[in-house]
Amino acid sequence: MILQGNEDLRVRKTIQGIKSAFEALICEKGYERITVKELCDKAQINKKTFYHYYETLDALLAELQSELSEGYLSRIKGFTLPEELDKVNREFFLYSAEQSLAYEKITCSGAYHAIRDQMISGVTDAGWSGSKKYQQLSDYQKKLLMGFINNAVLTAYRLWVEGGKTISLDDVIEETNRLVLGGVNSFFRK
């Protein structure tokens, strides 16, 4: 249940408790191994309360995905693509660096490819839909371009996280932009 801000304090605390317990479990184990009972125990609620707010764990995960996507999209709103792709990439890294360990798990782990793909798809649609250059591409070219950008950026982020974040974030952003922008600018020059 995405909170609107006008809910009763008990409802807000319950939803926040569910989400906090869920994120903690994501950090401890793979999503596919999380059970509703275990989540309820950790959130100190009963199953009936969980099911009052969420039909399934998948619904809770989808809500988390939506919130994460919206947070990033609000930061890149107004950027023009592909012209400001460097700024979009910078915001991805800055936004990602501010997020929780659960975000890192979702973004870096192979177990979450389905949710990550949904997040990427939503961001791609929102970010690139206004680009005239992008709209002129064939479906194949759009998929190729997005595959290249998303794989390069996500790989750079995953390597940074797996490496213990020992490289400065500015260096990671610079290297990633050099690689991605070189490919994208060359792609649109044809």
What's residue 85's pLDDT? 95
What's residue 117's pLDDT? 77
Is 1 domain-assigned?
no
Does one domain contain both 76 and 170? yes
Is 3 domain-assigned?
no
Separation between Cα atoms, residue 154 and residue 113, nearest integer Å: 12
Is 60 domain-assigned?
no
Q: Check: CB of residue 160 under 8 Å from CB of residue 167.
A: yes
Give every residue of the chain whose pLDDT is below 70, as ranges. Answer: 1-7, 111, 115, 190
What's residue 3's pLDDT? 47
pTM value is: 0.87
Separation between Cα atoms, residue 107 and residue 113, nearest integer Å: 8
What CATH code is carried by the domain that includes residue 32?
A: 1.10.10.60
Query: Pick from 157, 95, 82: which is nearest to 127 by CA?
Result: 82
Express each pLDDT in 124-164 by its tens digit: 878 898 899 999 999 999 999 999 999 999 999 999 999 99
Does one domain contain both 151 and 93? yes
Is 27 domain-assigned?
yes
C-alpha distance from residue 177 to each of 40, 48, 62, 149, 162 (Å): 43, 48, 30, 10, 19
What's residue 7's pLDDT? 63
Q: Check: CB of residue 7 under 8 Å from CB of residue 87.
A: no
What's residue 68's pLDDT? 87
What's residue 141's pLDDT? 95
Expressed as residue numbers, the domain containing 37 is 9-54
Does one domain contain both 13 and 76? no
Is 164 domain-assigned?
yes
Is 2 domain-assigned?
no
C-alpha 13 chain-centroid distance: 24
Dihedral angle sign, alpha carbons of residues 181, 184, 187, 190: negative
Does one domain contain both 82 and 109? yes
The number of domains in the chain is 2
Does one domain contain both 179 and 102? yes
- Say which DSSP state 167 is in: S
